[in-house]
Amino acid sequence: MKQKSLRFKAVITYDGSDFSGWQIQPGKKTIQEEIEKVLSRIFQKRIKIQSSGRTDSGVHATKHVISFALETDMRPEQIHKAMNALLDKHIRVKNVSIASESFHPRFDAKKKIYRYLLTDFNSPFLLDRAWYIPEKICISRMKKAASFIAGTQDFSCFQASGRKAKNTVRTIEYIKIKKEYFCFDPDVNIISIEICGTGFLYKMARNIVGTLVDAGRKRIEPEQIKRIIASKDRRLASPTAPAYGLYLKNVIYE
Which range of residues forms the domain containing residue 38?
A: 5-99
3: pLDDT confidence band, cut at 50, 70 and 90? Answer: low
Last residue of a domain, one of 67, 99, 131: 99
- Contact predicate 229/148, CB 8 Å: yes
Which tens digits make up the pLDDT trace of 215-240? 999 999 999 999 999 999 999 999 99
4: pLDDT confidence band, cut at 50, 70 and 90? Answer: confident
Considering the domain architecture, whether residues 141 and 240 belong to the same structural domain is answered as yes
Which tens digits make up the pLDDT trace of 157-180? 999 987 788 899 999 999 999 999
Average pLDDT over residues 235-248: 97
Considering the domain architecture, whether residues 118 and 198 belong to the same structural domain is answered as yes
Considering the domain architecture, whether residues 117 and 226 belong to the same structural domain is answered as yes
How many separate domains does the chain show? 2
In a domain, 105, yes or no: no
2: pLDDT confidence band, cut at 50, 70 and 90? Answer: low
Considering the domain architecture, whether residues 163 and 93 belong to the same structural domain is answered as no
Task: Give the pLDDT confidence score for residue 131 in this predicted structure.
Answer: 98
Is 187 part of the annotated catalytic residue set?
Answer: no
185: pLDDT confidence band, cut at 50, 70 and 90? Answer: very high
Which tens digits make up the pLDDT trace of 89-139? 999 999 999 999 999 999 999 999 999 999 999 999 999 999 999 999 999
- Contact predicate 225/94, CB 8 Å: no
In a domain, 21, yes or no: yes
Task: Give the pLDDT confidence score for residue 18 in this predicted structure.
Answer: 94
Last residue of a domain, one of 69, 99, 129: 99
In a domain, 25, yes or no: yes
Average pLDDT, the chain: 96
- Contact predicate 117/131, CB 8 Å: yes
In a domain, 104, yes or no: no
In a domain, 118, yes or no: yes
Average pLDDT over residues 8-27: 96
Cα dist from 160 to 54, 133, 163, 168, 237, whole Å:
15, 22, 7, 11, 11
**Where residue 56 sits, what CATH number does that domain have?**
3.30.70.580
What DSSP designation does 233 have?
-
In a domain, 43, yes or no: yes
Considering the domain architecture, whether residues 80 and 165 belong to the same structural domain is answered as no
Annotated catalytic residue, options 15, 18, 56, 120: 56
Considering the domain architecture, whether residues 146 and 83 belong to the same structural domain is answered as no
**Where residue 131 sits, what CATH number does that domain have?**
3.30.70.660
Residues of the chain above pLDDT 90, percent: 95
**Rounded distance, CA 224 to CA 206, Å?**
18
φ, ψ at 66 (rounded to 5°): -130, 165
Task: Give the pLDDT confidence score for residue 162 in this predicted structure.
Answer: 74
Average pLDDT over residues 195-220: 97
Last residue of a domain, one of 99, 133, 161: 99
Considering the domain architecture, whether residues 126 and 246 belong to the same structural domain is answered as yes
In a domain, 222, yes or no: yes
Considering the domain architecture, whether residues 94 and 133 belong to the same structural domain is answered as no
Task: Give the pLDDT confidence score for residue 166 in this predicted structure.
Answer: 87
What DSSP designation does 135 have?
S
**What does 8-41 look like in DSSP terms, one character per residue?**
EEEEEEE-GGGSS-SS--TTS--HHHHHHHHHHH
**CA proximity to 146, closest of 231, 210, 199:** 210
